[in-house]
Amino acid sequence: MSSLSTNPRFARLWSARVISRFGSALGYVVLIWYVFAETGSALAVVYVGLAEFIPTVAFGLFSGALVDRYSRRNVVILSSLGRSAAMGVLVVALYILGFNLAIIVLAAVLFSVCATFFGPGAQALLPEIVAREDVDRANGYFESSESIVGIAGSALAGVLVVTVGSVPSLGIDAASYLVGALFIALIAGTVGAKPSVSEGKSLLTQVREGLAYLRRATGLLELTLVALVSNFLFSIVLTFLVVYTVNSLHGTALAYGVLEALLAAGWGIGGLSVSRLRLTRFTGRFWALTGFVEGVVVLLLVLVPTLVVALPLFLIIGVWQGVCNVTWLSSVQTLVPSDLQGRYLATDNSISYAAIPASQVVGGVLIVAIGLPSTFLFVAVGSLVAGVGYLGLGSLRKFGYDPRTTPGAEPDETAS
């Protein structure tokens, strides 16, 4: 199999993912701004946010089974076309009917249902396109590129809202998914085209097989549970970062934007370092330490609320999270059997992302009840306490693989 630099199928998958990430970043900012500008209600923004998160949890298990059941390339194409259609119909409806929150929420739900298939499908395609020894490097490229275009998409969203308006900007978002679908369709060969060996089994049976696999793969199960707790705690910080910037740092929108940009830049730097340093050997150890790293970062944000301290901290936590994400995904794509990858990835998303809506609600309640500094202190202490528990997860600490050796195929043998 050719290297990444001469692999046209990888280039097309990379193009599809980067363009889709650009569209997602642009569309999210435009839609949230549009809803808030029209309603002036934070509750309306919450409705849209929940409409995007809940389908991930509700449909995740079944989306993974479908990714493993049918052509992964076709599933990704249909996911992209579905997202484009959801946003396109929304644009037409807004032009004809004007602002309507119910229609926006419905479109957000349909968009999110389609998006649920894109991540597991595109991620499960990668091991079929690149050599095993290139998986971590490929994920590093994805991580850094998507971080950059995420920043660009968010920034361009503000420019477009001012220059052409919110509704036309959503039309650009819809078009981006069409382009992404085209790049996936241009991937040559039979990649992702052969159904899994589970032909003849019901969808529910496939879902059960995916859950049974995760129960057997102790290291993966422990990592998913760590991600669940980490997402719940640290999402409070990310959700209310704008409040921290204004109230604790006394910063402006520029300061908030710089902190977000540093976090994204750190993800890219961390992702690129995985292949160079062969960090997949220590995948589980990084995750076992994540509670301590996040806890210390948030504690310093509370104890020393200055922009001079916050700037490097957000770069550091971005690097750490980039490393954790790429080591995890590369390990999964290498160690999990191909016909189970869609189900594992979707199941992990359903479980780990389930904490985010709850995190937003709990964080909002805590900030009203005890204030933002005390809420962030709660996050810091909770992360440190959880970190102690992570260290006791033996299978998690062993999880990982050395890209220079052949990894074991069984769940309980996925140790470096």
Whose CA is closest to 360, among 226, 234, 228? 234
Residue 15: what pLDDT?
94
Burial of 252 (0-12, 13-18, 19+ CB in 10 A): exposed
- Identify the architecture of domain 1-195 in CATH: Up-down Bundle (1.20)
Facing residues of 415 across strands? 399
Domain spans of the chain, in order of start: 1-195, 216-406+409-413
Each residue's pLDDT, cut to its tens digit, for the chain (416 residues) gives: 347 778 889 999 999 999 998 998 888 878 878 887 888 776 777 788 788 778 877 777 788 888 888 888 999 999 999 999 999 999 999 999 999 999 999 999 999 999 989 988 888 888 888 888 888 888 888 888 887 887 788 778 878 888 888 899 999 999 999 999 999 999 865 555 555 555 567 778 888 888 889 899 999 999 999 999 999 999 889 878 878 888 899 987 678 777 877 888 888 899 999 988 999 999 999 999 999 999 999 999 999 999 999 999 999 999 999 999 999 999 998 999 888 888 888 888 778 777 777 787 788 788 889 999 999 999 999 999 999 999 999 999 999 998 877 554 444 444 33
Q: Measure the CA–CA gap between 308 and 398, rounded to whole angstroms.
A: 37
**Per-residue model confidence (pLDDT) at position 38:** 87
The CATH fold of domain 216-406+409-413: Growth Hormone; Chain: A; (1.20.1250)
Token output for 293: 């790293």
Asked if the domains at 1-195 and 216-406+409-413 fall in one CATH topology, the answer is: yes
Q: What is the pLDDT of residue 411?
A: 42
288: left (phi over 0), alpha (psi -120 to 50) or beta: alpha
Q: What is the pLDDT of residue 274?
A: 93
Whether the Cβ atoms of residue 185 and residue 77 lie closer than 8 Å to each other: yes
Tokens of 189: 């060969």
Which pTM value belongs to this model? 0.81
Helix (H, G, I), strand (E, B), or coil: what is residue 337? Answer: coil
